[in-house]
Structures are given as C-alpha cells and as structure tokens.
C-alpha cells in the first residue's frame, strides 16, 4: 500500500486505464496521489451537492454495499452526495477514488480536506490537471467526463435538472458507461433528474437486488457474490410511512396524521433517537430506513 | 451673601447628591458656574437670567458665583436650571431660606420662567426618598414621586409659584388622557401550534428562544406577543425597569402599569446601543429590556461583537461598564428572543418557494451567530409560513389571557417546589429538580449519543423538559417531557 505517493500516468503507460480511451478526448496525463493501481473500472456514485436525508441514506446504503463487495467507488469529493459515497466506501473498508476538478494536490472543496487526506494516504486522488492547478468553473464538467470514463457503471443518487450530475450522466452515455438511477419522489426537486434519467432508459435501482444485477452485468460483480440482505427496517408506524414517502415539516406531518402537533413531535423525537428518522438542514423530517446515524 | 440648594445629577441609573452653592458679592456684574458643568449646564446661565426676569424677580447686578459640590463629580444636563435659580433667589433674599430646606430641587427652565421636566425624574424621586427629603420640580416629578412612594413633592408649573404661599394653589393633576395599554393578543396568530407552544414554554421557564423560519412566517408577530403572556411586573420590578426608562428619557408609564418591556433594536445597533455607553453613560437596549423581552430580529445581521457582548450580562443579569467617570452597573435580566432565516435565501424547507442555497452556505450562515450564543438558547423552534387557508379561517387562535394563566400557574409551581425558574438551574440542582426516572435517564443518554449533545446541550434539554413538566404541574420529568424538549433543538447543518 502506498501513502501519498505522486505518480504521473501517461497515455500508453501500463497503468493507464483502458476504459478512458472510450472518451472522445481521453486525458493525456493522469496526475495521481495515492495508489495508482486503483485506476480500474469501478462504480461511480454521483449526486446533488444539495443532498436530502434520502440522498445521503441511499448513498450510504448503495455505495456501502457495493464497496463491501469489492467494487471501487469513484466520485468527485464534492459536498453532499460525493462525500457521502467516499465515506460509505471508507466505512465499509472498501477502496475509493476521488477525481478532482483541480490539481490532485489541491484541497477543494475546503470541507473535504480531511477526507482527501485520508484518500491520498490509502486510496487514490486523481486529476488530469497539473499539480497545483486551482479549481475553475470549467474544470468541473471536464472532471465529470473522467468520472464517467473511469467507471464501468454510473450510479446517480439524486440530481436536479439542469445540474453537473446530469452532465456526468451525459458523458457516461457517450462513453458507453451504463447509467443507473435511484428513483425518488416526484415532488422532490432533487429527484427530478434521476426520475428523468429513468424515463430516458437508465436502469432503475429500487433495491439492492437491482444494484447487484446491474453490477454483475457490468462485470463489476461475479454472480456468486449476490447475497443480498434486506433493509434493516421497514416503515412500521403511520408516521414512518408518511415520512418514507417524502420529507415533511412537523406541522404538516401532524396534519396528515390528524394528531396534535405535540403528539407528532413526541413520535418523531422518539423515531429520531431510534435512528429511523432524521431532520434535514431545511427543518424537514425524513425516514432514513433505520440504517444508523450519519 | 450665600445660599445652598440640594439637587442631584444622574450617574447611570442613580441620582448622586449635588449641592448648588450661590455666592452673590460686590464686584463687576458677572455670572459664573464652576464645578465640572457640561455644555448644557453652562448655557443654564442665560436661561436662569431670563427666567428670573420673566417671573418678575431681579437678577443681581453684581458678581454671582455658582459652585456645584462635590466639585470633582462631572455634572450633566439641564435639571440644574431650577436649583441655580432658587439658589440665586435665596442668596439675594428674594426667597426665604425655609422654602427650600430639606428639599431636592430639579427642573429645567424656559425663558418665560416655565418649569420643564428632565430625564431621570424617577431616579431623583428615589434619591430624595433615600435622603429622607422632599421634592420640588416640574409636575412630572410629582408623578415620579407617586411611583417611588414615601416621598412628598411640591410641583411647580412656573418659577413665580415658588414665592406664592405654600399650598396656596392646589397642584393641578396631569390629565391621564391615555387609552389603556394595549398589548398585542395571541389570538391574532393563526395556526403556528409549534411556535405557540415554544413561546409558552419560554415564558413559563424564562428561557431564551430562537425562531428559525422563512420571511413572512410571523416570527416578529409571535415575539411581540411574548410580554402579554408573561405575568405582570411585580412592584419592585416595575420600579427597576421604569427607572431605566426614566433615565433614558423614555415614557415609563406603561411599565408602571405593569406591562413588561419589549425591546427590538434594529440589527445596525452598536455595542454601546445594546449594552449601554456613551457620554454621559446611558443604559442600552439590554437594560431597557430588564424584566422583559429583548427581541433580536435577523440575528445573523447583528455585528458579531455586539452579540458576543450579550453573553456575560445574560449570565449575570447585570451590565457593568467601566468608564473614565467611574463604574456603572445597569440591571439586565431579560428573556432573549431571536429570529433568523433558515438559510441565506430564506426559503429552506418552505412549503411553496424552493431554496437556492447549498449545504455549505447554509452551514456558514448558521455558524454566523456563534456557538457560545447558541448555547444560551434553550429552545429553537422552526416557524413556517402558515397555510393561507389558516389565515383566512375565522377561528382565531387561543387568546393571550388563557396562555398567561397557564404560564403563571407553571411559574408558581416552579417557585413553590424549588424557588426559581428552571432557566436558572444547572448542574446538580437541575438534575435534582428533574428527578428523572429510569426510562427518562436512559432516553437522555440515548439522545446525547444520537444527537451528539454537549454538556450544555444536555443542560438545555433538561431545563426545557423541567419547564414542560411545570406546565403540567408534574413533580418528575418524564420521557414525554424530555421528548418534547428534544424536539426544540437546532436542526443539523451537516
């Protein structure tokens, strides 16, 4: 295992990933920090920077499961979904690759500093931009193209339209990478993009079985490994069922259940403690399938 | 010939005794004031000269020297006009000395000899009571003397009345031509069950409250109704708060009627405006909110330094300022209600409008008011724009009077069982007061783990839970109380 070693992998080198050649403009040089042997086909997990509790939970569930089954998780270290995916891979003891829109030695976004340090130590941070290049507006769509190129399959967890995540899906289609999408509420702006991808032909990931089948089809998983475990918790109370359909404000939940707000507050506070429900940044409560905390 | 008249000068909220000594002697005509007078006091010479003439007295055409003792104390304001005039009259034998013996004199003079009020009359009345003296001054001083109690006052409308026979003319009462105080009623608030509940708990336990919600959700409307649901001021509290109002030159009559103050300074307010300061040193908004509510709307817009200056006084209940003129202590025991938007654009979580902010910008926005101040907010409540149908609906919310009854009952329960409100409890005393049963302690441990509660966070949850129990007159804090308290936490920002 390497630690923070810098490598420049050129087109034609043995380590240069063949799958990148499917891109219209494959990068000439890949600037890597970490273990360059991780430049193998993997599962790219991308999604909205403005992720909902639903998005972060799906990320943890799906990226975590794939990672436990030996699939490298590729993402962009961006705030929100990307970081959730990297963290899920780290927590499940898998391997993960961050593709940056700046030099591989630059900490961007600043909130990812600690995460990137970890990745440079034991995993891989890669960029086509020379050392020290600062991030710029146009570098991110280019970065998205490399994510799409490196991966054997692209999993879109949440995306609004139009968005950077959506552009990654476009690159994936051009490169012939299979696109998988997590369906979401038709009322949630963060799921509009994924629902649209599904309408346009992306594979639906409605449970772990779906993911296993798709990963096997892309050659990331041998069929023998498909021992799928079910969710830790299904919604059992009325409150959970209501919140599972979409995040809600406390007062709306109380109105839906037809109980006083205080009673709904008690129920939700208890579910929060059980880890079944979480309050998002916008103050809404969401059902998070009892998979545990953040 | 010499004469001495007692008066006082304001030092913070206290009136310090000052002797006005006049010496009229032969020499070239002149009129000098010594003893650290400020600019307004220097101008007093011209007012006194004209007022005396207008009232039909003679201003001596010789050397007039006025000294303000103690000479080292800096003196401010125009309240010295009347004492100086009376000292000159006594020194020139135009006024018998007995008229002003044992009397604290204060008042400004108009050029026509009329006697006018000055700031801080209540402080003068309290000082006179302290010295065991009577009062002489404008009619407003008589009101202040009534409020202070135990001190007599002879009101003057015009300077010439001083030589009229004492008690010759009955003092005219000022017409109380004011409608009874109207405090906004909670019945006007449609819906908002959670916010109402938070307001009730905050009032019952004296907790600080932070309201988070999009613009137009009614945060200010709710805050304005807080004084109404608090019990009326006790007689001691009335005097304390009215005194701050009086020395600030504000109308203290509503306070004296028992209505708790509600102060909502604009977010451009300076530190001095918030905690007190200036020259002469005046109390700030924090002290004006003493025994009442300080409402900081859009709290992230306030200068961080001003917010940090709130912290110490919030713990101690007083503000101590040290200036060149000395040390000033102002009372500042208030309930803080703050409001903010959930994100920079204001619409995170709104039912109708989408939010355009990203996670990090929201986290930065929330971080702006700083952890230490957040730590002093026992309750955080989400306030949302009500459904339009709720506003139009005819059924109004529960009126203030009903909520206030519950608040008063809860406060009585708190005082009867442990002698103080739960917002003043901490540490072992707080745990003792809560008497958590096994289930509740386990729940609290679980909450601390799941929500990453700090020691302060646990304290806040327990205080709130204790007040919720008080509202039910419950002896012990149960799981239900604790669960509700936990729902008034700050939303996650990660």
User: CB of B423 within 8 A of CB of B205?
Assistant: yes
Q: Is the CB of A279 less than 8 angstroms away from the CB of B491? A: yes
CA distance B377 to B379: 5
Tokens of B469: 């129990």
- Apex B251 CA angle, B249 and B256, nearest 5: 125
SS3 B262: strand
Residue keyed to tokens 């021992």: A227
Tokens of A161: 């339209």
Question: Residue A8: phi, psi to the nearest 5?
Answer: -115, 115
Chain A CB contacts of B355 under 8 Å are: 282
pLDDT at residue A188 in the model: 86
A272 interfacial to chain B (CB closer than 8 Å): yes
Helices vs. strands in chain A: H and E counts, helices first:
10, 11
List all residues 6 or more positions away from B458 whose beta carbon is below 8 Å from its beta carbon: B444, B448
- Apex B135 CA angle, B134 and B136, nearest 5: 135
Strand pairing category for A153-156 and A43-46: parallel
Helices vs. strands in chain B: H and E counts, helices first:
21, 18
CA distance B411 to B91: 58
Nearest to B359 among A49, A254, A261 (CB): A49
SS3 B5: strand
Q: Is the CB of A272 less than 8 angstroms away from the CB of B451? A: yes
Helices (H), B328-437: 359-367, 371-374, 388-392, 400-418, 427-434
User: CB of B21 within 8 A of CB of B57?
Assistant: no
What's the sign of the alpha-carbon dihedral B465, B471, B476, B480?
A: negative
Q: In 10 A of CB A132, how many CB atoms?
A: 11
Q: Is the CB of A273 less than 8 angstroms away from the CB of B351? A: no
Helix (H) or strand (E) holding A46: strand A43-46
Residue keyed to tokens 């880890």: A275
CA distance B154 to B137: 7
CA distance B360 to A112: 11
Nearest to A293 among B197, B362, B450 (CB): B450
Q: Which domains does chain A have, with CATH numbers?
A: 6-225 (3.40.50.450), 238-287 (1.10.10)
CA distance A93 to A67: 7
Length of chain A: 294
Nearest to B201 by CA among B215, B222, B187: B222
Q: In 10 A of CB A238, how many CB atoms?
A: 14
List all residues 6 or more positions away from B481 whose beta carbon is below 8 Å from its beta carbon: B440, B465, B466, B468, B469, B472, B474
Instruction: State the nearest Cα–Cα gap between A160 and chain B, in angstroms.
Output: 12
Does B70 sit behind a cis peptide bond, omega within 30 degrees of 0 on the bond before it? Answer: yes
pLDDT at residue A150 in the model: 93
Tokens of B334: 């208030």
What's the sign of the alpha-carbon dihedral A83, A85, A89, A92?
A: positive
Nearest to A268 among B359, B480, B487 (CB): B487
Residue keyed to tokens 């859009």: B298
Torsion angle in degrees (nearest 10) through CA of A48, A50, A53, A57: 30
Nearest to B115 by CA among B65, B63, B171, B66: B171
* Tens-binned pLDDT, residue by residue, of chain B (494 aa): 899 999 999 999 999 999 999 999 999 999 999 999 998 899 999 999 999 999 999 999 999 999 999 998 889 888 999 999 999 999 999 999 988 999 999 999 999 999 999 999 999 999 999 999 999 999 999 999 999 988 999 999 999 999 876 554 455 555 555 666 678 898 888 888 899 999 999 999 999 999 999 998 999 999 999 999 999 999 999 999 999 999 999 988 889 989 999 999 999 999 999 999 988 899 999 999 999 999 999 998 898 888 888 888 888 899 999 988 889 999 999 999 999 998 889 888 888 888 888 777 888 888 777 777 777 888 999 998 877 766 666 557 889 999 999 999 999 999 999 888 988 888 889 989 999 989 999 999 999 888 888 888 899 899 999 999 999 999 999 999 999 999 898 766 54
CA distance A156 to A205: 10
CA distance B24 to B31: 9
User: CB of A118 within 8 A of CB of A46?
Assistant: no
Residue keyed to tokens 């102060």: B263
List all residues 6 or more positions away from A231 whose beta carbon is below 8 Å from its beta carbon: A289, A290, A291
CA distance A219 to A42: 10
Q: Is the CB of A270 less than 8 angstroms away from the CB of B349? A: no
Nearest to A262 among B197, B343, B451 (CB): B197
Question: Residue B295: phi, psi to the nearest 5?
Answer: -110, 120
Q: Is the CB of A283 less than 8 angstroms away from the CB of B342? A: yes
- DSSP lists the bridge partners of residue B137 as B155
- Secondary structure letter of residue B181 according to DSSP: P
Tokens of A27: 């990068």
Instruction: State the nearest Cα–Cα gap between A143 and chain B, in angstroms.
Output: 20
CA distances from B74 to B38, B70, B107, B183, B379 (A): 8, 9, 18, 40, 45
pLDDT at residue A133 in the model: 94
pLDDT at residue A291 in the model: 42
Q: Which domains does chain B have, with CATH numbers?
A: 2-162 (3.30.230.10), 186-487 (3.40.50.300)
Nearest to A193 by CA among A210, A170, A176: A170
CA distance B103 to B155: 12
Helix (H) or strand (E) holding A203: strand A203-204
Structural Rg of chain B based on CA atoms: 28
Chain B CB contacts of A270 under 8 Å are: 483
pLDDT digits (tens, 9 = 90+) for A170-205: 899 888 899 999 999 898 888 999 999 999 999 999
CA distance B104 to A285: 65
Helices (H), chain A: 53-68, 81-91, 113-122, 139-150, 164-175, 192-199, 208-217, 238-245, 250-257, 261-274
CA distances from B407 to A1, A245, B468 (A): 65, 38, 10
B487 interfacial to chain A (CB closer than 8 Å): yes
pLDDT at residue A290 in the model: 44
Region of B306 on the Ramachandran plot (φ > 0 left; ψ -120 to 50 alpha; else beta): alpha
List all residues 6 or more positions away from B226 whose beta carbon is below 8 Å from its beta carbon: B199, B202, B203, B262, B293, B295, B335, B337
SS3 A243: helix
pLDDT at residue B178 in the model: 60
Instruction: State the nearest Cα–Cα gap between B427 and chain A, in angstroms.
Output: 24
What's the sign of the alpha-carbon dihedral B347, B349, B352, B358?
A: positive
Tokens of B64: 């007039």
A282 interfacial to chain B (CB closer than 8 Å): yes
When pLDDT is cut at 50, 70 and 90, the band that residue A278 belongs to is confident
Strand pairing category for B63-69 and B14-25: antiparallel
Mean pLDDT confidence for A50-67: 88
A266 interfacial to chain B (CB closer than 8 Å): yes
Length of chain B: 494
pLDDT at residue B168 in the model: 44
Instruction: State the nearest Cα–Cα gap between B238 and chain A, in angstroms.
Output: 35
Nearest to A126 by CA among A91, A100, A88: A100
When pLDDT is cut at 50, 70 and 90, the band that residue A237 belongs to is confident
Question: Would you list the DSSP string of B192-243?
Answer: -HHHHHHHHHHHHHT--EEEE--TTSSHHHHHHTHHHHSPPPPHHHHHHHHH
pLDDT digits (tens, 9 = 90+) for A148-173: 999 999 999 999 888 888 889 989 98
Whether the per-residue pLDDT at A251 is higher than 70: the answer is yes
Nearest to B375 by CA among B308, B294, B430: B308
Nearest to A45 by CA among A139, A182, A174, A141: A182
């Amino acid at each position: 295992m390497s630690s923070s070693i810098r490598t420049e992998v050129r087109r034609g080198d043995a380590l240069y990933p063949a799958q990148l050649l499917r891109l219209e403009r494959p990068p000439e040089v890949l600037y890597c920090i970490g273990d360059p042997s991780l430049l193998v086909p993997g599962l790219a997990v991308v999604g909205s920077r403005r992720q909902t509790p639903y998005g972060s939970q799906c990320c943890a569930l799906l990226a975590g499961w794939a990672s436990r089954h030996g699939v490298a998780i590729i993402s962009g270290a961006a705030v929100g979904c990307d970081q959730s995916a990297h963290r899920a891979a780290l927590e499940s003891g898998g391997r993960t690759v961050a593709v940056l829109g700046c030099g591989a030695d630059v900490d961007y976004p600043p909130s990812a500093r600690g995460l990137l340090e970890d990745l440079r130590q034991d995993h891989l941070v890669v960029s086509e931009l020379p050392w020290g290049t600062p991030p710029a507006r146009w570098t991110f769509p280019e970065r998205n193209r490399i994510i799409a190129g490196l991966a054997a399959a692209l999993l879109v967890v949440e995306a609004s339209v139009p968005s950077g995540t959506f552009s990654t899906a476009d690159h994936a289609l051009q490169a012939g990478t299979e696109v998988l999408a997590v369906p979401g509420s038709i009322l949630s702006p963060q799921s509009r993009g994924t629902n649209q991808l599904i309408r346009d032909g992306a594979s639906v990931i409605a449970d772990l079985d779906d993911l296993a089948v798709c990963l096997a089809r892309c050659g990331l998983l041998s069929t023998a490994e498909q021992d799928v475990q079910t969710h830790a918790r299904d919604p059992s109370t009325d409150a959970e069922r209501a919140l599972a359909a979409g995040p809600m404000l406390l007062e709306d939940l109380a109105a839906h259940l037809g109980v006083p707000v205080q009673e709904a507050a008690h129920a939700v506070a208890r579910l929060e403690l059980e880890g079944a429900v979480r309050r998002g940044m916008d103050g809404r409560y969401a059902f998070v399938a009892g998979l545990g905390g953040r | 010939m010499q004469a001495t008249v007692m008066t006082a000068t304001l030092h913070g909220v206290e009136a310090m005794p000052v002797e006005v000594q006049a010496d009229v002697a032969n020499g070239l005509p002149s009129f000098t004031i010594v003893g650290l007078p400020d600019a307004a006091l220097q101008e007093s010479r011209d007012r006194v000269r004209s007022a005396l003439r207008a009232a039909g007295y003679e201003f001596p055409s010789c050397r007039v020297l006025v000294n303000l003792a103690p000479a080292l104390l800096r003196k401010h304001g125009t309240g010295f006009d009347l004492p100086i005039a009376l000292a000159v009259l006594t020194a020139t034998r135009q006024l018998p000395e007995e008229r002003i013996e044992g009397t604290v004199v204060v008042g400004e003079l108009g050029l026509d000899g009329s006697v006018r009020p000055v700031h801080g009359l209540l402080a003068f009345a309290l000082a006179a009571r302290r010295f065991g003296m009577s009062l002489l001054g404008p009619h407003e001083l008589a009101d202040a003397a009534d409020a202070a109690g135990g001190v007599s006052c002879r009101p003057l409308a015009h300077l010439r009345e001083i030589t009229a026979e004492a008690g010759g003319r009955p003092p005219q009462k000022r017409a109380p031509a004011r409608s009874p105080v109207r405090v906004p009623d909670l019945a006007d608030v449609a819906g908002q069950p959670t916010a109402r509940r938070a307001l009730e708990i905050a009032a019952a336990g004296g907790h600080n409250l932070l309201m988070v919600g999009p613009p137009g959700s009614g945060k200010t409307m709710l805050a304005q109704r807080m004084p109404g649901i608090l019990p009326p001021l006790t007689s001691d509290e009335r005097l304390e708060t009215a005194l701050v109002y009086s020395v600030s030159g504000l109308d203290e009559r509503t306070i004296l009627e028992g209505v708790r103050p509600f102060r909502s300074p604009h977010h451009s307010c300076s530190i001095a405006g918030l905690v007190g300061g200036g020259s002469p040193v005046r109390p700030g908004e924090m002290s004006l909110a003493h025994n009442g509510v300080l409402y900081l709307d859009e709290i992230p817009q306030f200068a961080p330094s001003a917010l940090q200056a709130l912290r110490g006084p919030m713990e101690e209940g007083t503000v101590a300022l040290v200036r060149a003129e000395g040390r000033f202590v102002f009372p500042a025991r208030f309930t803080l209600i703050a409001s903010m938007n959930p994100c920079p654009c204001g619409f995170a979580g709104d039912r109708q409008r989408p939010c355009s902010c990203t996670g990090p910008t929201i986290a930065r926005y929330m971080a702006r008011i700083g952890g230490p101040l957040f730590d002093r907010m026992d309750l955080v409540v989400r306030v949302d724009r009500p459904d339009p149908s709720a506003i139009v609906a005819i059924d109004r919310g529960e009126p203030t009077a009903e909520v206030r009854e519950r608040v008063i009952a809860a406060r009585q329960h708190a005082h009867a069982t442990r002698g103080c409100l739960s917002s003043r409890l901490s540490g072992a005393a707080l745990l003792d007061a809560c008497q958590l049963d096994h289930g509740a302690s386990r729940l609290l441990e679980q909450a601390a783990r799941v929500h990453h509660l700090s020691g302060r966070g646990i304290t806040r949850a327990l205080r709130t839970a204790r007040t919720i129990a008080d509202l039910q007159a419950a002896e012990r804090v149960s799981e239900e109380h604790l669960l509700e308290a936990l729902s008034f936490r700050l939303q996650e920002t990660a």
